[in-house]
Amino acid sequence: MVSPKVGLALGGGGARGYAHLGVIRMLRQHDIPIDVIAGTSMGAVIGGAYACGVDLMKLERILKTLDLNRMLRFPKSSLRGLVGNTASEYLFKRRDWRKQDQEGTRAVIEFFNVFTQHRSFSELSTCFAVVAVDIDTGEEIVLREGPVSRAVAAGVTIPGIHYPVEHQGRYLIDGGLINRVPADVAFSLGADVVIAVNVSSGLTSGGVTSVEVLIQAESIVLREMTQLRLKLLRQRVGDRLLLIEPPVEHIKTLSLDKVDPPIRAGEEETSRRMDEIRALITRYSR
């Protein structure tokens, strides 16, 4: 009997995306194969690290050691903290950021080499793709060539915090803005069944800062869009799509120093759904 090719779609959600590590850990502990990974935002970071062969315990240590808040310039309390110098330069001044030496972008790309071990897509044994968006056209771009770190950097690039990342003449930003959980991409890469992990289905209450209000507003819009995309996809693929939604709504998107709670949530929800996962694989084995 031949098992189906199993795909994993890892969505965006900031710190909530740490749950992806817990999901992957449980799948591997139960000998569930992962043949295809499509990720965006934090899903691109975690999925990319796994596809590049980073040990999961090591990845957890990296997440706890590195200051993602500082590197990604995530704000703490205000809109001014969000936009900073980078955004004010290209939002409020007449200057073409395409022609500038994108020093900050290079630093972010180099930073993600810690997760991707300087590997290129052609070196990976697991089929992996990053979903990004062309800022000029709004087109969804699926990245599968070149350095993985550059693709991951594009997949997490947030307008107003970073410059778009240039790739083959296009300027790319966070793919989660149009495809929060890229399950359709995982199917297009050859997966027979897809486990889609949505960490942004719940809304966080109690946001009091300007940034938290902006994130909440974005989450409301993207939640509706994500639900619609997944509903339409399910109409096409039926029960080949299994959706996992770890209970991480209590975790704020920007709480990047809180690593353990979302990882545990990912582990526990995946363990709870393991019988369904096994049944899915058995059903489509041939």
Structural domains in the chain, CATH included, are 6-284 (3.40.1090.10)
Q: CB within 8 A of 183, min separation 6: which ones?
A: 7, 9, 38, 194, 196, 230, 233, 241
Global pTM reads 0.87
Catalytic hit among 3, 67, 88, 174: 174
Q: Is 200 a catalytic residue?
A: no
Residue 133 CA to residue 174 CA, distance in Å, equals: 6
Euclidean distance between CA atoms 175 and 155, whole angstroms: 6
Q: Digits of tens for pLDDT over the chain (286 positions)?
A: 799 999 999 999 889 999 999 999 999 999 999 999 999 999 999 999 999 999 999 999 998 887 665 555 544 433 344 444 444 444 445 455 555 545 667 777 888 898 899 999 999 999 999 999 999 999 999 999 999 999 999 999 877 667 889 888 899 999 999 999 999 999 999 999 999 999 986 555 555 555 565 666 666 667 778 889 999 999 999 999 999 999 998 888 778 888 999 999 999 999 999 999 999 999 999 8
Q: Which of 35, 41, 149, 192 is catalytic?
A: 41
Q: Is 188 a catalytic residue?
A: no
